[in-house]
Chain A
Amino acid sequence: MAKQIFKKPQTMADKKLHYCPGCTHGIIHRLVAEAIDELDESESAIGVAPVGCAVLAYEYFNCDMQQAAHGRAPAVATGIKRVHPKNLVFTYQGDGDLASIGAAEIVHAAARGENISVIFVNNAIYGMTGGQMAPTTLIGQSSTTSQSGRETSVEGYPIQMSEMLATLDGASYISRQSVHNGANIQKTKKAIKKAFEMQMNEEGFSMVEVLSNCPTNWGISPKESVKWIEENMVPKYPLGDVKTPKEVE
């Protein structure tokens, strides 16, 4: 009899994803679901979906989900966690959601040491609304609202959220990973699992920033887009753990 060696994680719903061809949002969803499965938390997990391309994440995860207003996911997750302190509570947010409109919410959830985990998908652009500039858009990168390329004299500088949040005492684990190739996908998975584990051990706020692509709005092929992450994003957003608590270092 044939042996099944690969299947959908239990925490991933049997639904067709709506993401564009080649978009790595799907990979990141899968990694989150696998980590929840491996920790056996699918029955306790409560996720918060953002506004952005992942707005329908509540349909894709096989666990309880709340859908938040643009940027407010960390506040919603805070409310959930205070009611259910033993459950695994996570948010899934894009860079427009987390670093722009929701900047205050993420900073203060981290500063409070809120015992939640944040999956922060950084694709350096607003995907859903059609490719506008994000706080993470690179210098020189063009978008529909910075058509000749982001210029520091006009649009200022990209924000390195992981480094910024790592300065806060309440943040216990901050890691930046990428999904542009197999090896990095594995590392991302490990980081997500570690963030969840730390939450279940009540160690406080954890966040995994994941460098992701947006072939549609970058206007390049999926293949070129992963190369673009490696060549352009990684130098600005270096990979690896940005902050770990002393005990797990």
Chain B
Amino acid sequence: MAKTLMKGNEAIGEAAIKAGCRHFFGYPITPQNELPEYMSKRLPEENGSFIQAESEVSAINMVYGAAGSGARVMTSSSSPGISLKQEGISYIAGAEVPCVIVNIVRGGPGLGGIQPAQSDYFQSTKGGGHGDYRLIVYAPASVQELVDLTIEAFDVSDKYRNPAMIFGDGILGQMMEPIEFNKEPIDPSDLPDKEWATTGVGKKGEKSVINSLSLQAEKLEDHNQKLKEKYDKIKANETRYEILHEDAEYFVVACGTTSRLCKNAVKQAREKGINVGMIRPITLWPFPEEAFHKVLDQTKGFLTVEMSNGQMIEDVRLSVNGAAPVEFYGRSGGIIPAPEEILEAIERLQGGDQ
């Protein structure tokens, strides 16, 4: 298949359409605007609908309605907008309807800035909204992965009736790379019927209710238990990661854009004779604990690198569980760590261990 040069944000949009998504509801915020802009042009061409909602609160609730009605549907935003969407995300998770939410993360807290960051890690993986729920969170590291993981997010979200999130950042959203669409485009009318969805009783002969209310504590506990079992299944089946130099003595841990910078630093470190590899979580939730267990016996230390002041490191520490030192290097506020800085941190890790 021919390669096309596409900007990250637009590639997500085209990938969603190829995955059978015909509905998009969003609200402008930098640095993700190219995605709703692209959808506003492309969806009408595909007989779909695009609405620029009056707010992110409204956009996510439109997603809730459309997803509950059985459609593949997407919304996107950046950090402050995702905060506003949290109410709806909690309802969507509680009501178990599938959808894809894109967060092109920028520096925070508050209004923050518009430069790339990863400081919404906690919000995305620990449940930014209320209640006991999980999102399936993908952290792509290239425009090609934005495409592949967006398509996968729709499938996995449908499979488990659970919202999925694409956790990107301003660099990924804005950069152009050659990509290919490796899968046949999906015609939404070919997708299996969602018998639970609200399509009108006439179509199914039975009433559907999309709901997240449970006034009896026992029933709500049962529901939460059922959700937990589902989350365990997702953990067992959908955890994704990449390990570079699996036999290394030291490991850098990084995801998304940061992992690309780290790859470079790891290469330089290895040229200097440091036996270092890299673990790259591709799903942030479920977090790939297994990747750490694989290398724990031989590893003398981990270095977590993030575009934040240290959030993912908590999951790394839990996975390592005290078996080796876990160090941290991060930049925040929208500053991108340079490979040289990371290299120095790797050298410190090695030095500190001797």
Tell whether, in the assembled complex, residue A105 and residue B65 are in contact, meaning their CB atoms are under 8 Å apart: no
Asked if A38 is at the interface of the complex by the 8 Å CB criterion, the answer is no
Contact partner, A46, options B23, B53, B198, Cβ 8 Å: B198
Kindly specify which of A61-69, A146-154, A163-171, A227-235 makes contact with the partner chain: A61-69
Given known pairs A58-B209, A72-B58, the reply for A108 and B65 (CB within 8 Å) is no
- The residue on B at minimum CB distance from A73 is B61
Contacts of B210 in A (CB 8 A): 65-67
Interface centre among B51, B65, B202 (most CB of A within 10 A): B65
Tell whether, in the assembled complex, residue A65 and residue B61 are in contact, meaning their CB atoms are under 8 Å apart: no
Bound state CA distance, A69 and B95, in angstroms? 11
Tell whether, in the assembled complex, residue A79 and residue B62 are in contact, meaning their CB atoms are under 8 Å apart: yes
Contacts of B61 in A (CB 8 A): 68-69, 72, 75-76, 79, 105
Asked if B91 is at the interface of the complex by the 8 Å CB criterion, the answer is yes
CB distance from A245 to the nearest CB of B (A): 23
Contacts of A105 in B (CB 8 A): 54, 57-58, 61
Asked if A239 is at the interface of the complex by the 8 Å CB criterion, the answer is no
Contacts of A175 in B (CB 8 A): none
* A-B pairs with beta carbons under 8 A, tally: 133
Asked if B123 is at the interface of the complex by the 8 Å CB criterion, the answer is no
Asked if B264 is at the interface of the complex by the 8 Å CB criterion, the answer is no
Tell whether, in the assembled complex, residue A75 and residue B68 are in contact, meaning their CB atoms are under 8 Å apart: no
Asked if B63 is at the interface of the complex by the 8 Å CB criterion, the answer is yes
Contacts of A63 in B (CB 8 A): 200-201, 207
Contact partner, A83, options B69, B202, B212, Cβ 8 Å: B69
Interface residues as binary, B186-209 with A (CB distance below 8 Å gives 1, 0 otherwise): 000000000000111111000111
CB distance from B50 to the nearest CB of A (A): 9
Which residues of chain A (113-170) have a CB below 8 Å from chain B? none
Tell whether, in the assembled complex, residue B207 and residue A83 are in contact, meaning their CB atoms are under 8 Å apart: no
Bound state CA distance, A68 and B59, in angstroms? 13
18 other A-B residue contacts (CB within 8 Å) besides A66-B68, A67-B210, A68-B61: A43-B200, A43-B201, A45-B200, A46-B69, A67-B209, A68-B64, A75-B58, A78-B51, A79-B23, A80-B198, A81-B65, A83-B66, A83-B69, A83-B73, A84-B69, A87-B200, A104-B58, A108-B58
CB pairs A–B below 8 angstroms (25 shown): A44-B202, A45-B201, A46-B200, A59-B209, A62-B207, A63-B200, A63-B201, A64-B198, A68-B61, A72-B58, A75-B53, A78-B51, A79-B66, A79-B68, A80-B69, A82-B49, A82-B62, A83-B66, A83-B69, A83-B70, A83-B73, A84-B69, A87-B199, A105-B54, A105-B58
> Which 4 pairs show the lowest CB-CB distances between chains A and B?
A79-B65, A43-B202, A75-B61, A79-B66
